[in-house]
Structures are given as structure tokens and as C-alpha cells.
Structure 1
């Protein structure tokens, strides 16, 4: 996480090497940032690019006490890919699909070549996702108003928003029968698993389902669909 007031202080490996007067090759070999007491990165665990707070690293290199960072609980704190995914309760791979949404692209912030998003924008996107109101169930008296030709697209939106979306979620959001919700969810999941396996032949069915974020409990119904789709594409 990056506090917006300290964005200008962010340091990459390359910038740290310059600060320490090291050639990049030497920096890579010695990994001075792994030394005990060196300030921890401000990028998330598993981040592709490590980032540090320059105020902290400068103090450390000068032999001075390392200052504490500001509180990181505000709405404008910048989140990287992993942190944004965690805020939504999805995998980073799923976030990669979400981040192309215009509601997020207009808020993206480039920090030393790494995409970040304000927590407020991530939460606004989360709260506006399809199906967020489904937990309360279908409003009393609501009719099945989803045209048949739009059903797949509407269910696909729910699945995009939450790979673990349930039959109950679909019923609550769209007012369809349980059997219909199960059928369309299974079809969509199966087709997407087959497409991913075709793109990456080394993946097993379960590995592809895992990458897409589909819980084990829903995979059985999608397996036959995926097998059929694979046969048709062969």
C-alpha cells in the first residue's frame, strides 16, 4: 500500500541501486534490501515489482531511525494488484479481468510503472458489481423479467463479478428458476474452463477451474460441458 502523500518518495530496485551507488548487477547479487533491519517493501507479498518508501530507505542508509509510515486505513490509500484483489475477495487473476472496467481504468495510478488504484475506487466498484443486492433475495412480487436472449449475458456478468457466484445469487439477482440458474452457470463455467485448457494445454480440468476461481463444489456440473466444448473445438 502507498499513502498518496508519499507517492513521490517511492523507490524501485533500480532507484535504490542508484541511491546506494551500486551497479544494478551488484545490487541484484548482494540484495541489500534483504539485510536485517532494512525497511520492508511497501508493495504486497507476491508483487511482481518490489517498491519501498524512499523516506524510510534514506533514513536507513543515513544510519538514522527509520520513520513510521502514515496510517494506511484511509479511502485514498493506493492498492496494488494483489491488494485490490484481496479487497474484493478474488484472485489477482480475476482482478486482471476487472481492472479493464471503465469504472476502474479512470482511477488507475501509475507508481514507478506499477498500476495502483485508490481504495475508494476499488470499494465503489465492489459495491456496484452485479449481484451485490442478491443476498436479500428477490423482492416480493418481482416477476421473471429477464428476456431469454439476455439471460446468458446477465449470468455471465454475475460470474465475471464473482467466480464463486451461487445458484441462489443468480436467482436473487435475476429472478430465474433454480434449474435455469444451475444450467446456465454450468454451461458458462464449462465453456470457460475448456477455453482456458485450449489456450494452455498443460492445464488439467481442476487446474483451469482453480485459475478461474471456481470452487470445487461447482466443478462437477461444468465438467461435461467442458468435455463437450473441447471435443467440438478439436
Structure 2
């Protein structure tokens, strides 16, 4: 079957067609070749392994689920060298070995390394990794403050405030898009952001929502 015909016919929607081995909501759907061949030939479909293997390749949604975070948060995490160095592109979609994601998850507990910021020092977390660290802290505690970020990550107060505002605003806007009719204040409530830390993010969130 030619690709154009495949797209029109969508044989994967037919009853009995094997289920994708990728995330059902992923942008790229992938199937097991042996199962599809068996379906084509009218034979019994071979069973997929029932156990998890460290070599399994996970897409962004599966990796996010393993880390117990939202896919949007994982989009930030994946820039970390501990994950970026293991990325594998399959049919245009990035995947990561289960072992690499598990190792990253185990190492996340050490992220909050330096307690306090030595006088005169530069930012301790590399700038390109800071959004991912901020996302982790918000996943753990939606009410985390800039002062806590300074203590945990060793960054400047201005950097902590800036990245917290950006990440909170992005999450508020994402919640508004996911739940039509929700305003910025209501989205912030759903995300458990206390009033004291949400004020600066609300306007930015509304602007993000209006421009996308």
C-alpha cells in the first residue's frame, strides 16, 4: 500500500488491527512489524513481551509517566545531558531507553545540592539546565518560592524569580487551553499556586494564552 493510500484508508482503525506500541496520544504512532505482518496475512498475532526491559525505548509521554510528571515538564528535562545523550530518533520521534530515564529519576533526588549561595559566586546551575530544575521544584511543591530556589539551586534571586514566573505562566496557560472557559485565576487555583506567588505570573499567562 502506498503512503497516500495508507493515510486515506487508515487501516489501523479497523477491528483486529494491532494496537500501537507507542503512546496512544503520541504525535507519531508506531506498530510492531511482526504483528502488522501477521494481521496482513490473516495469521495469529505474536504476543508482545509482558515485562519491562531496560532497553525499551520510551517516547516523551511514556518517559513523563515514568517520572510522574507532565509531558511538558519532560520537554524541559530532556535537555539535561543525562537524558539528551541517550535520545534515539525513531520515525521522527525522540525516544529514550527506560534505563536512562530510570537513572535520571534516581539522580533527581540529588538535584537540590548546594545549600545556600557562596558570596560572590556565579550561578551554580548552568543556565540551559535551570528551566528543568525549576520545573522539578514546581512538580514537587507548587508553592515553592524564589528564596527557596536560591537556597536549593544556588542561583541569583532575579534568575529564580524570572524562571519561576515563566514556568508558572506557561503552566497556567496550558491549563486554560486544556479546560476551555477557565480563566487565569481559576487555572492557578487548579495548580495549587498560593496568591502570594502567583501574582506576577497571571498577566504573563494570559498573554501566552491569547497569542497561541
Query: CA separation in 2, counterparts of 1:90 and 1:150?
Result: 32
Match of 1:123 in 2: 102
- Asked if the contact 2:34–2:46 (Cα under 8 Å) also holds between the matched residues in 1, the reply is yes
TM norm structure 2: 0.68
Displacement of 1:144: 5.6
Q: 1:100 aligns with which of 75, 79, 84?
A: 79
* SS of corresponding position for 1:115: strand
Aligned residues: 187
Displacement of 1:109: 1.4
* SS of corresponding position for 1:163: helix
TM norm structure 1: 0.62
Following superposition of structure 1 onto structure 2, how do residues 161-172 of structure 1 map, counting pairs within 5 Å?
161-166=136-141, 167=144
Following superposition of structure 1 onto structure 2, how do residues 31-42 of structure 1 map, counting pairs within 5 Å?
31-42=10-21
Query: CA separation in 1, counterparts of 2:193 and 2:82?
Result: 30
Q: 2:22 aligns with which of 38, 43, 49?
A: 43
Gap change, CA 1:206 and 1:159, over 3 Å in 2 = farther
Match of 1:137 in 2: none
* SS of corresponding position for 2:139: coil
* SS of corresponding position for 1:27: helix
Greater relative contact order, per chain length (Cα 8 Å cut-off, separation 6+): 1
> What is the aligned-residue RMSD (CA, Å)?
4.2
Query: CA separation in 2, counterparts of 1:222 and 1:152?
Result: 22
